[in-house]
A and B are shown apart, each in its own frame.
Chain A
Amino acid sequence: MFNKKLSNASQEIIDSLIAWRVWLTLGYVDIQIQYRRSVLGPFWITISMGVMIYTMGFLYGNLFKMDMYTYFPFLATGFLTWNLISVMIIESTNSFVEASGFIKQERRPYPIYAFRIVVRNSIIFLHNLLAILPILIFTNKQFGMTHLLLLLLGIIIIILCSMSFGLVLGMLGARFRDLHQIINSIVTLIFFITPIIWQPSMLPTHRAWLAHFNPLTHIISLIRDPLSGNITKIISLQISVSICVFGIVLAFLCLARMRHRIAFWV
């Protein structure tokens, strides 16, 4: 019985990967609609993020008495990546509820609605990248081929993670409607315990584990390190890839268990 469910689930995943046009379009249309509502579209988010990064950079740089040349890019790249990940986590809990009109109209593979969230946020990520570009140009002179390849690798890992965990969160969020609020508050909390505005080196040595055992530290550094001109640490790559593999397996199992219930939940 469970074997059949697993093969159904993998068929579902294959079908949605074949339908790449569909989720690319859905994500793209979401952005298109944002542009239609206001001339600047998603750039509103970019602007507010930019203002936040520049003021926080000056404020915390002075508070922590940091060297601006290292602190500014650290904060900007971390914030950029955090914004990508956190918004995807929060929006994923709503992915199927948001698509209930499509779901109840015609049978399509479910994962496309989870992947749409990833596409939409990746486009916004590119918008936001523009906001911190001046900082990177000023401070990061050693950006080279290795950094570019590492950056791309990091982005691919993060996208695969988001697709799989997003699928799981989407299904749970359809079943438990308060998951969205719960995740929302948890994400705010995680922002403070993850090294985004503070650097791991600021922690006293006997507290350093706080940063090292936090998986998000490593996932964020996938983008942060190459963008700020450093080489990604092997340990960060190892941990992120493990999380990614775990996420894909988890998504398979959850899809096998819950796929046939989604239409009833949304």
Chain B
Amino acid sequence: MAHIKLTSLDLEFPIFGNNSRSLKHRFLNISSGGAIKKNASITTIKALDNINLEMNDGDKVGLIGHNGSGKSTLLRVIARIYEPIVGSISIDGDISSLIDFTMGLTQELSGIENIKLISKLKGLKPQKIKENINEIIEFTGLGDFIYLPIRTYSSGMQLRLAFSIATQCKPEIFLLDEVVGVGDISFIEQAQKRINAIVQNSNIIVIASHDSKILSKICNKVIWLDKGKIVLSGESDDVLDKYRQQHGNT
């Protein structure tokens, strides 16, 4: 049983100016009596503001909003990467996240080595990795490219690889950011099938995107974020219609 619940959650993001990241400056400030308040260069940005949401089994939730509206941040909060100080968060279920797909890949390693490494990072036993590996390779559709270093891949190919690894064990909660758009049409269809399979296991998928077309294809619920606040949430068609009305036909 997968379940996600966030209650009145705030997240502040420290934005470091150059001086605030410097230990040397800290010491200089102390020696100058600290009269000049240089530390004010730590600005915080309220990335998420009073978020309340609940997701249950079978939900295919889309997050829509501009760049910088808090979509990725919200995904990272659900993935427990960013810990909020205000508000409560309760999550049941294994999480697999694909938030910035190039980030988790090691460019020097071949596709097959990346599969092994990331599977190990996910905590899979060597035996299990051996079992899964052929299926993953097949799903990537990369053919012999799987033996070449990742740095020779196009971004679409890297996406195929990262997506196949992230969805390998049919996670109970799957978080996906922005990425589907990079793939070609055949991959998007393939990915859609895999996503549907995950949801059929009565689990939760959260997808962030600024492309309302992709979300309307995949999701049954949509949350519209703006400046870190939830503008509207509900059935996907309703929310996406209202979103389109405000933003033209994108």
Shortest A30–chain B CB gap in Å is 10
| Residues of B68-113 whose CB lies within 8 A of A | 76, 79-83, 95-100, 102-106, 108-109, 113
Contact (Cβ within 8 A) B24 A105: no
Complex contacts, A21 vs chain B, CB 8 Å: 120, 126
Nearest CB on B from A17, distance (A): 13
Which chain B residues lie closer than 8 Å to A108 at the CB level? Answer: 121
Evaluate contact between A176 and B117: CB separation under 8 angstroms: no
Chain A residues contacting B97 (CB-CB under 8 Å) are 105-107
Using a CB–CB cutoff of 8 Å, the interface residues on chain B facing chain A are: 13-14, 21-24, 26, 76, 79-83, 95-100, 102-106, 108-109, 113, 117, 120-123, 126
Q: A148 interface residue, CB < 8 Å from B?
A: no
Question: Does A182 lie at the interface of the complex (its beta carbon under 8 Å from any beta carbon of B)?
Answer: yes
- Chain A residues near B120 (CB-CB < 8 A): 21-22, 25
A residues less than 8 Å from B102 (CB atoms): 101
**Nearest CB in chain A to that of B26: its residue:** A176
**B23 touching A176, Cβ below 8 Å:** yes
Q: Does A45 contact B (CB under 8 A)?
A: no
Contacts of A172 in B (CB 8 A): 23
Residues of chain A contacted by B76 (CB below 8 angstroms): 104, 263
Chain A residue with the shortest CB-CB distance to B13: A264
Residue of B nearest to A8 (CB): B83
Tell me the nearest residue of chain B to A19, going by C-beta: B123
Q: Which residues of B have CB within 8 Å of A260?
A: 83
Cα(A100)–Cα(B100), bound, Å? 11
A103-B22 contact, Cβ under 8 Å, with A22-B121, A25-B117, A25-B120: no
Closest to A102 in B: B104
By the criterion of a CB under 8 Å from any partner CB, how many residues of chain A are at the interface? 29
Which chain A residues (177-195) contact chain B, with CB distance < 8 Å? 177-179, 182
Option from A25, A37, A106, A178 in Cβ contact (under 8 Å) with B81 = A106
Measured between alpha carbons, how far is A175 from B25 in the docked complex, in Å?
Answer: 13
Q: Which residue of B lies closest to A25 (CB)?
A: B120
- The CA of A26 and the CA of B109, in the complex, are separated in Å by 12
Partner of B79, one of A29, A107, A264: A107
- List 17 additional A-B contacts (Cβ < 8 Å) besides A36-B108, A100-B103, A264-B13: A21-B126, A25-B117, A25-B120, A29-B113, A33-B106, A37-B108, A106-B95, A106-B99, A107-B79, A176-B23, A177-B22, A178-B21, A182-B24, A263-B76, A263-B81, A264-B14, A265-B14
